[in-house]
Amino acid sequence: MSTANLRRHLHETRNRPAGINNRRDVHRDRFLLLTKRWIGGALLAPACLVTAITLILMLWRAVTRMGFLKSEEFVFFTFGGVLWGLAYLAGLRPVTAYVFGHEFSHLVTARMFGGRIFDWKVSAAGGYVETDKSNTWITLAPYLIPFYTLIIMIVFGIAGLALDMQEAHAVSLWKWTVHLKPTRFLYALVGLTWFFHATYTVKTVLAEQGDLKRNGEFFSMMLIFLINAFLLIALFLAASPSPGLGIAEVARCWWSVASGVVGWLWHLVV
């Protein structure tokens, strides 16, 4: 993201006379980066490990005890993901669509934090948002929020107010009539858009985007992984074949794993 503050900061940095690194804003920026580095290592990294183990355990339990692999939610979610994978391997690169979602995520998050938008641009070559507000959530928003997945869920949520999403509806296609279930399209589109989000998030992170460097690359990657892991857990809960599997059970499992990891580290140190 390119912001007015960032451009001003870069201009001042390039034109700063030698020996002026003791300025208060320079020390503040260094302190914030150092603090985020410590937060990333001491808090986010262990949380990422615990959350990843929890997700694996919950999925394993659902697969072995609840027949999750045969569930309609998993089948169509996977179908959407495979569809995106085949399209990507065939050479489809909707870069402009990704840049739009990327920059619009910056824009919306900046507005949520009270920032003013002066200009923004989207093209296949890249984009930017100029705003007077910048923080961790604004700069990392595109990597934390699967923009098109969120749009799909909002659209289907609104449609669900007037339409029974679980019921098969007759649709006439030329001479044929087929019965289509809206939820199947929902699961498939969520799978397609989430894998689209994951693909371009990985590509952008590997390209060393400036958004990550501003917050510290390690801190940024840990936060991105953690939030996306929680999003996967949320999607898993929404698609869970067991009504008894909810947030409370996930929290219990997470705490159990965290206690085990802390205990293991304690015995390792002591």
Name the residue ranges covered by the structural domains of the chain. Answer: 4-17+33-69+94-154+204-269
pLDDT of residue 102: 92
Cα dist. 142→1, 62, 107, 121, 197 in Å?
10, 30, 10, 15, 9
DSSP 61: H
Query: Binning pLDDT at 50, 70 and 90, where does residue 98 land?
Result: very high
- Across 84-107, b (16+ Cβ under 10 Å) vs e yields beeeeeeeeeeeeebbbbbbbbbb
pLDDT of residue 171: 66
The answer on pLDDT for 109 being more than 50 is yes
Q: What is the pLDDT of residues 131-185, one digit of tens each?
A: 888 889 999 999 998 999 999 999 988 988 887 777 766 666 666 666 678 888 8
With contact defined as beta carbons under 8 Å apart, do 128 and 121 qualify? yes
> How many other CB atoms are found less than 10 A from the CB of residue 153?
17
Q: What is the pLDDT of residues 184-230, one digit of tens each?
A: 889 999 999 999 999 999 888 888 667 788 888 889 999 999 999 99
Lowest mean pLDDT among 1-5, 51-55, 70-74, 121-125: 1-5
Q: What is the pLDDT of residues 221-260, one digit of tens each?
A: 999 999 999 998 888 887 766 655 678 888 888 999 999 8
Question: Residues with Cβ < 8 Å from 200, sequence gap 6 or more?
Answer: 98, 102
pLDDT of residue 18: 46
pLDDT of residue 103: 92
pLDDT of residue 167: 77
Element at 121 (helix H, strand E): strand 117-123
pTM summary value: 0.80
pLDDT of residue 52: 93
What φ, ψ does residue 90 adopt, rounded to 5°? -80, -5
pLDDT of residue 8: 53
Q: What's the rounded Cα separation, in Å, for the pair 41 and 219?
A: 8
pLDDT of residue 80: 94
Question: Residues with Cβ < 8 Å from 219, sequence gap 6 or more?
Answer: 36, 37, 39, 40, 44
pLDDT of residue 67: 78
Q: What is the pLDDT of residues 4-60, one digit of tens each?
A: 555 555 445 545 444 444 556 666 778 888 888 888 888 999 999 999 999 998 888
Mean pLDDT to the nearest integer, 74-94: 93
